C-alpha cells in the first residue's frame, strides 16, 4: 500500500526543520501498517516562495471577519524555503528511503497559473491538491472558534455547493496529480442534506481530467467520523473509472499509515485492486496490497 499524504510539521509549528531520522521513523511506522511507499507532501503555504507568488490574497475579502485570521495564518506558516524542502526530500529518497518528493497544493482562485509556474520549477514526483478555505474562511480549522462560527452563520448546503465549485475549478487547472480528501468540506461534522448531485459533479470533474483521488483515513479522526471520500461518493468515483491513492494525512509519527487496511477493504469491496503510484509526476499502477 501507499501513504501519499504526510507532513513533517504539526499545524501548531511554523517549522521543525528537516531530519532524516524523522522520515526513517515514518517509513518504519508505515511498514507496521502495511504501507511500503510514502510521499512527503508538506503544505505549499509553508513556504516563502508561495507567499511571494499569491500575495495577500485574502485582502479581496477584507469585509469577512476571517480575513485577519488568514493574514495571521500566513504570517505564522509562510517562513520556510521551498528549495530547502525539495533538497531534503530528494536526499531522503537518494538515501534509499521509500519516499516520493511531493507537495500539498492549495487552491487559490484565479491564481493557479502562477502557482503551477512555481511548482513546475521543482522536481516533484507527485502534487496533491486541496481546498482548505473559501475566500478567507478556513472551514476546516476545527480548533478555531471564529472559523467554526462560520458554520453556524452560513447555509450548510450553499457552503457545500461553493466547495464543490472550488474543487471543480482546482481540478480543471490540471495543476495537481491527486485530489486530497475530496469531501473535506464535511470535516467539522456539517453535512449537506442531499450531497448526491455534488458527489456527481466532483466525480465528473475528476474523471474529465483523469486526476487520481485520495482515499484517506484522516476523516475517521475528525468530527466527520468517516473516511474521505464518503461511501456514496467513492461509489461514483469507481463507476467513472477514477484511479486512487491512499493516505493518512499524518502530522505526527503515530498516525502514519493509520487504518491503511481499512482503506484497502473499502476499495476492494468496490473492485479496486490497484493504486496510482507517481514518479516525476508520471503515473503507474501498483498492487493495492503488497504480497505477503
Evaluated on CA atoms 220, 37, 173, 48, the torsion sign reads positive
List of domains in the chain: 2-287 (3.20.20.140)
> What is the rounded average pLDDT for all residues in the chain?
97
Evaluated on CA atoms 154, 156, 161, 163, the torsion sign reads positive
Which alpha helices (H) appear in the chain, and where do they start and end?
20-32, 48-54, 67-77, 82-94, 112-119, 145-153, 156-172, 196-209, 231-239, 260-268
Distance CA 213, CA 216 (A): 9
Q: Is 292 a residue whose pLDDT tops 60?
A: no
Quote the pTM value. 0.97
Lowest mean pLDDT among 55-64, 85-94, 191-200: 55-64
**Per-residue pLDDT tens for 94-125?**
999 999 999 999 999 999 999 999 999 999 99
Average pLDDT of the segment spanning 65-88: 96
pLDDT of residue 62: 84
Average pLDDT of the segment spanning 69-78: 96
pLDDT of residue 219: 98
Q: Is 290 a residue whose pLDDT tops 90?
A: no
Percent of the chain with pLDDT over 90: 96
Amino acid at each position: 500500500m501507499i501513504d501519499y499524504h504526510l507532513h513533517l510539521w504539526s499545524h501548531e509549528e511554523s517549522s521543525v526543520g528537516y531530519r532524516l531520522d524523522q522520515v526513517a521513523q515514518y517509513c518504519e511506522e508505515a511498514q507496521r501498517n502495511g504501507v511500503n511507499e510514502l510521499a512527503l507532501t508538506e503544505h505549499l503555504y509553508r513556504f516563502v516562495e508561495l507567499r511571494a507568488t499569491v500575495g495577500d490574497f485574502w485582502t479581496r475579502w477584507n469585509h469577512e471577519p476571517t480575513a485577519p485570521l488568514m493574514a495571521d495564518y500566513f504570517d505564522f506558516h509562510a517562513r520556510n524555503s521551498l528549495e530547502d524542502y525539495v533538497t531534503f526530500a530528494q536526499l531522503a529518497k537518494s538515501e534509499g528511503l521509500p519516499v516520493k518528493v511531493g507537495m500539498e497544493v492549495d487552491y487559490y482562485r484565479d491564481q493557479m497559473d502562477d502557482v503551477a509556474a512555481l511548482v513546475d520549477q521543482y522536481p516533484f514526483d507527485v502534487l496533491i491538491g486541496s481546498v482548505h478555505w473559501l475566500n478567507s474562511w478556513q472551514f476546516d480549522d476545527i480548533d478555531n472558534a471564529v472559523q467554526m462560527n462560520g458554520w453556524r452563520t452560513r447555509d450548510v448546503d450553499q457552503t457545500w455547493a461553493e466547495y464543490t465549485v472550488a474543487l471543480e475549478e482546482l481540478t480543471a487547472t490540471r495543476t495537481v496529480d491527486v485530489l486530497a480528501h475530496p469531501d473535506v468540506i464535511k470535516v467539522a461534522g456539517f453535512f449537506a442534506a442531499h450531497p448526491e448531485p455534488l458527489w456527481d459533479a466532483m466525480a465528473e470533474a475528476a474523471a474529465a481530467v483523469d486526476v487520481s483521488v485520495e482515499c484517506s483515513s484522516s476523516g475517521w479522526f475528525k468530527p466527520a467520523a468517516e473516511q474521505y471520500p464518503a461511501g456514496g461518493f467513492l461509489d461514483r468515483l469507481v463507476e467513472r473509472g477514477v484511479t486512487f491513492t491512499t493516505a493518512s494525512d499524518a502530522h505526527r509519527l503515530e498516525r502514519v499509515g493509520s487504518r491503511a487496511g481499512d482503506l484497502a477493504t473499502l476499495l476492494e469491496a468496490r473492485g479496486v485492486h490497484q493504486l496510482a503510484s507517481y514518479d516525476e509526476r508520471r503515473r503507474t499502477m501498483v498492487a493495492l496490497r503488497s504480497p505477503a
